[in-house]
Structure 1
Amino acid sequence: MRILGLDLGSKTLGVAVSDELGWTAQGIETIKINEESRDYKLGRLTEIIEQHNVEKIVLGMPKNMNGTIGPRAEASQRFADILTKKFGLPVVLWDERLTTMAAERMLISADVSRKKRKQVIDKMAAVMILQGYLDSLN
């Protein structure tokens, strides 16, 4: 069973997918979206879900440091509803506090240029969200 990991931003959607056994997460791509106009590129997500035979979606939910829900977490909740209606798959909201910062630190320590980091940061955050979820299962 493959699981899709998503990191929702206002302009991009980081995408990762698990291996068949559900042990590791691999980054797929970063999709340019427009949250303001609700253009989430669901057609591209459909292609990815079908290509990888995805059976579950894990969506990052950026809670505030004190555990409360702010505007970005509310955006994730709205997107989870859209995903559930569109794909009919279970959607798990996964606490992703500090995931993007951790991904950025990892890329900096790997000496990835600022321009390249900007291109892959959301994909890396999706990998970290999905890997955290997978680790919690095993």
Structure 2
Amino acid sequence: MRYLAIDLGGKRTGLAVGDDESGIVSPLTVVEAKRDALRIEAIVKQIAREGAEALVVGWPVNMDGRAGPAAKAAEAFADQLGRATNLPVHLHDERQSSAEADQQMAQSGLTHGQKKARRDALAAATILRGFFESRAAGDGK
């Protein structure tokens, strides 16, 4: 099955695509939008372009596992996205995904601006890889 992953941010939302059969995950793009309606519109276009059959939204729970305001906002966005697309939407713990993306780019030779532009798409790819790994281990939702 083909999945589209979303790393929801205040200004930028990263997107990645992957296939659970092959396990291949690729960062796609970053959507620059603050309003949910504009984000959803851009995501719907990527769903059609990539042939995604399900969605994974990064769920930023606190380090202690509790759902704070950011996690609740991600839950609300996931609900909106599910209604707008009629696709299954999964939430996946995104703790440390941005830090991992930064680590991947640390020795890349990219400028600060280039790193900033790619960070959220790489974080979305990290979220999707984690989702696939948790499902393979039998503890995915």
**Both structures adopt the same fold (TM-score exceeding 0.5):** yes
Aligned length: 136
Residue ranges of structure 1 left out of the alignment (5+ in a row): none
* CA apart distance, 1:137: 2.9
* CA apart distance, 1:33: 1.2
What are the within-5 Å matches in structure 2 for residues 1-138 of structure 1? Answer: 1-19=1-19, 21-35=21-35, 38-138=36-136
* CA apart distance, 1:41: 2.8
The aligned counterpart of 2:139 is none
Q: Which runs of 4+ in 1 moved over 6 A?
A: none
Q: Distance in 2 between matches of 1:90 and 1:22?
A: 20
CA RMSD of aligned residues (A): 1.5
* CA apart distance, 1:39: 3.7
* CA apart distance, 1:5: 0.6
Is the CA contact 1:6–1:126 (under 8 Å) kept in the aligned structure 2? yes
Q: Which amino acid aligns with 1:30?
A: V
3-state secondary structure, aligned to 2:131: helix
TM-score, scaled relative to structure 1: 0.91
TM-score, scaled relative to structure 2: 0.89
* CA apart distance, 1:54: 1.0
Deviations 1:29-51 (A, max 9, x none): 0001114xx34432221121112
Q: Distance in 2 between matches of 1:32 and 1:47?
A: 14
* Identity, % of aligned positions: 32
3-state secondary structure, aligned to 2:62: coil
* CA apart distance, 1:93: 0.4
